[in-house]
Copies of this chain bind each other. A is one copy, B any other.
Amino acid sequence: MTPLYIVGLGPGGREHLTPAATRALGTSHCAVGYGPYLAQVQDLLVGKDCRDLPLGEEIPRARLALDLAAAGKPTALLSSGDPGIYAMATVVFEQLATAPGAGWEGVEVQVIPGISALQAVAAKVGAPLACDFCAISLSDCLLPWTTIERRIDAAGQGDFAVAFYNPVSQRRRWQLPRAREILLGYRPTDTPTIIARNVTRPGETLQLTTLGELAVEAVDMLTLVLVGSAETRVWGPWLYTPRGYQPPP
């Protein structure tokens, strides 16, 4: 059996790359990833067979990594954040499950978790996810918008703090305003909201705003939007959600 490591690189800052991830990269002969992810850990990949496939080619990346491992080469498939949270791990399992005759029987998959964006952002601003929370991707490329909208509505009903992944793209502009509108049906306009970009990377920005003032113009593809629950509080520069409180009437 040859290992295929699906490696979480974390939010970007190298101080958040786990020893498990470093070791997996070090013991791999091949590395497959989107170029900027390969560049992020290039010092750990010296002398290795690195394959750079562009954004949008997630399935080819997963298949190439499986093929390399199936050929007996220990391989790392690079993922930003946590590979299990809107990232590469499930792409590999989708391929394994749907292509049983592809010759991948000798591949031993290992998923190496990493710090996801929601954690990096939460840590920078305090403890907004300290009580119950959810993560929702606003990308309707693979899921129908009706399913996503049902989830946003449920997040409102349950008063979860919400981390929105993929909040906008160049084409997807109306989804974030619609998500805001749905949540405003359940929580106040002054609900603390964070627009976080490039967290733990050069050029990091963190903007505190409110749900009522959340503007799509301030958000791009490298942004995570984190909306507090109705109980999330602002104290000085910090946001936190208390552990205990009384229910709304």
The residues of A with any CB-CB pair to B shorter than 8 Å are 10, 13-20, 23, 82-87, 89-94, 96-97, 109, 111-116, 119-120, 122-124, 126-137, 141-144, 146-148, 150-151, 153-155, 157-160, 233, 235-236, 238, 240-247
Contact = CB atoms under 8 A, between A and B. Distances in A.
A21 to B, nearest CB: 9
A132 B142 CA distance: 13
A134 B132 contact: yes
A154 B134 CA distance: 11
Contacts of A236: 96
A151 B160 CA distance: 7
A155 B131 CA distance: 15
A87 B129 CA distance: 10
Contacts of A151: 132, 158-160
Contacts of A83: 123, 127
Contacts of A247: 143-144, 146-147, 150
A84 B90 CA distance: 25
A84 B119 contact: yes
Given A144-B247, A157-B157, 11 more contacts: A82-B119, A84-B127, A84-B128, A86-B130, A90-B127, A90-B240, A109-B238, A114-B119, A134-B135, A150-B159, A154-B155
A120 B128 CA distance: 21
A102 to B, nearest CB: 14
Given A20-B16, A150-B159, A235-B93, A130 B84 contact: yes
A126 B110 CA distance: 8
A20 B127 CA distance: 18
Given A127-B83, A129-B85, A245 B143 contact: yes
* Most chain B CB neighbours (cut-off 10 Å) among A10, A93, A129: A93
Nearest to A147: B247
